[in-house]
Amino acid sequence: MSLPAVAVGDALDGHEVTLTRADLVRYAGASGDLNPIHWSERTATAVGLPGVIAHGMLTMALAAQFVADWAGDPAAVRSFSTRFTRPVVVPDDDAGATVTLGATVKAVDDDGAVTLGVTALGPDGRAVLGKAVAVVRAR
């Protein structure tokens, strides 16, 4: 498998993912993170949050999946790191919250490995992940 041909500065085509409260409940069950800030409006606002928020690790997983899909093979993702900068508030409606994912090529190594600066923007257009970097190896 080879990675798509890219050069430093190239932007990957963006991708939107919509999260609903049902997605949060499914993720909570699968991950074992049953913290009520991810499903109870009353609890979330009582601790000072603007509402129910998506799990940070779910947001990170969406970004990592975006990179793996671009690479064409999840095993090609050599590393992925990020900081959580802002929560994704998921309203209790049918529309949910949209996270917009993207990336820019930061480096292409001699061995063909590609370093990507990954972006994840919440519904308000503000970054929900900071310093997100993925390194994808060529095969």
Q: Convert the pLDDT of each residue in 20-64 to its tens digit.
A: 999 999 999 999 999 999 999 999 999 999 999 999 999 999 999
- Asked whether residue 31 is domain-assigned, the answer is no
This prediction has a pTM of 0.93
CB 129 within 8 A of CB 84: yes
123: CATH: 3.10.129.10
- Asked whether residue 50 is domain-assigned, the answer is no
Domain span including residue 83: 11-19+55-136
- The Cα-based distances of 131 to 23, 33, 62, 68, 100 in angstroms read 25, 24, 15, 18, 16
Dump pLDDT digits (tens) for 1-11: 678 889 999 99
- Asked whether residue 91 is domain-assigned, the answer is yes
- Asked whether residue 87 is domain-assigned, the answer is yes
- Asked whether residue 94 is domain-assigned, the answer is yes
Give how many domains the chain has, as a whole number.
Answer: 1
- Asked whether residue 120 is domain-assigned, the answer is yes
